[in-house]
Amino acid sequence: MRKFNISIFWSSLVLLGVSYLLMKYVVQPPLPSSILAMYVGMILFAIFIYVTVEEERMREFLQPIRGLFLDEKKKTWQTLVLIGFPLAIGVYSFNAFSPKISPPAELRTVHPAPPDEYVGLVNPLRESGEGGAKPHEGDLEEHVQKGAEIYFKNCFFCHGDALDGKGHFAEGFTPLPANFRDQGTIAQLQESYVFWRIKTGGPGLPTESQPWNSAMPIWEDFLTDEEIWQVILYIYEGAGVEPRTWE
């Protein structure tokens, strides 16, 4: 650093700027602004720590600022900075707080606690062999097959034929239909939980998840319990993920 004679002040600014641009424009899919703000905050914090750990470094960091404001000859620059800096903050704040067309970000509780009666249910089809033993391969396959049929008759309009949440109707809904291939949906849920969600759909969500205009239909009026367990088998199989198990 010393070799190029860039002071730590400017290199910090560059670091901040570059990492911001990287996170904002290079990371794909784009990070939500809440996360971005958090990471940028972390970097700022780290720079602060790094600079202030040592006395000399702190002095070096402050040098350009001191140089600017203590130098009588730099009047124009001083004026520019003193006007430009508050102005930039003003513009930023205005942009951040002025009303927008798109609805504001919501704190959604995506996975609220399920009602008691669903807790601890096990998928009977995984256990349906004689004497509670594992089912014969054939049985399970049959159930998965049936599940696939159910899925393509009922669910794929929204959840997509690749189970990635990109069905034909998907674009029309907020929140978007769940992407079953994502680590954050069924892969981290127990089957009992998924059973509850399918059975009672969006309206079955507890008040704590509101406002939540989930388009997920209530399936208990259309599918039997067994059919729901079958479609569960299929979505796990099809998405290539395992249901969550505890201990």
Partner 1 sequence: MENIEYRISNIESRIASRLPASRFLLLALFSLFMLFALSAFAQEPAYRHFPLIGSRNAIWIISQLHLMFAAFILGVPIFAVIVEYIGVRTKDPKFDRLAKEFTKLLLIAFSTTATFGAIMLFLLIGLYPNFFNYMSSIFFPTFVIYSLLFFGEGFSLYLYWYSWDKLMNKKWLHITFGIMLNVFGTLLMIIANTWVTFMMSPGGIDEQGALISLWGAINNFTWIPINIHRFIANICFGGFIVGAYAAYRFLSSKTDEERAHYDWMGYVGNFIGTAALIPLPFAGYWLGKEIYEYSEPLMIRMMGGELSWLFIIQAILIGVLFIGANYYLWIALSRIKGGERFRKYVKYMLFLLVICFAIWMTPHSLVASLEEARKIGATHHPLLGVFGVMSAKNTAVNLIILTTFFSFMLYQRANKIETVTWAKKGKIAQIIILGSAAGVVIFYGIYGYYVPAAVRIGFSVYQVSAVLAAMILVTILSSLILRGATSMGTIEWGKMPARSQYTLIVLALTIVTLMGLMGYIRSATRADWHVYRVLRDTSPEAFTPTIAYATQMISIITFIFFAFICFIFWLGHMGEKQ
Residues 6+ apart with CB under 8 A from 224: none
| Closer Cβ to partner 1, 33 or 79, answer by number | 33
Shortest gap between Cβ of 33 and partner 1 (angstroms)?
7
Closest CB to ligand HEC among residues 12, 230: 230
Is 6 or 80 the residue whose CB approaches partner 1 more closely? Answer: 6
Contacts with partner 1 by CB under 8 A: the residue count is 56
Q: Give the Cα separation of 174 and 215 in Å (integer).
A: 8
The three-state secondary structure class of 247 is coil
Other beta carbons within 10 angstroms of residue 188's beta carbon come to: 13
When asked if residue 32 is in the footprint of partner 1 (CB under 8 A), the reply is: yes
Task: From residue 42, give the alpha-carbon distance in Å to each of 30, 34, 109.
Answer: 18, 13, 25
Contact 188, 196 (CB under 8 A): no
Minimum distance between the CB of residue 230 and ligand HEC, rounded to whole angstroms? Answer: 10
Q: Does 38 bind partner 1 (CB under 8 A)?
A: yes
d(CA 115, CA 197): 10
Among 55, 130, 137, 221, binds partner 1 (CB under 8 A): 55
Among 5, 34, 95, 98, binds partner 1 (CB under 8 A): 34
Angstrom CA distances, 142 to 69, 132, 204, stand at 78, 18, 30
Q: Which stretch binds partner 1 (CB under 8 A): 100-108, 126-134, 140-148, 195-203?
A: 100-108
* Triad 195, 121, 187: Cα angle to 5°: 55
- For 123, half-sphere exposure in the C-beta direction (CA atoms, 13 angstrom radius) is 25
Among 8, 12, 61, 114, contact with partner 1 (rule: CB under 8 A): 114
Closest approach, Cβ 247 to partner 1, in A, equals 6
| Residue at 103: amino acid letter | P
Q: Give the integer Cα–Cα distance in Å for 181 and 94.
A: 39
Q: Which is nearer to ligand HEC, 64 or 175 (CB)?
A: 175
Piece of the chain touching partner 1 by CB under 8 A; list 13-21, 30-38, 130-138, 144-152: 30-38
Binding mask 189-218 for partner 1 (x = CB under 8 A): -------------------x----------
Write out the residues near ligand HEC by the rule CB under 6 A.
Answer: 111, 154-155, 157-159, 169, 173, 175, 177-178, 185-186, 194, 197-198, 202, 214-217, 219, 231, 235
Q: How far apart are CA 235 and CA 186, in angstroms?
A: 9
Nearer to ligand HEC, 9 or 157 (CB): 157
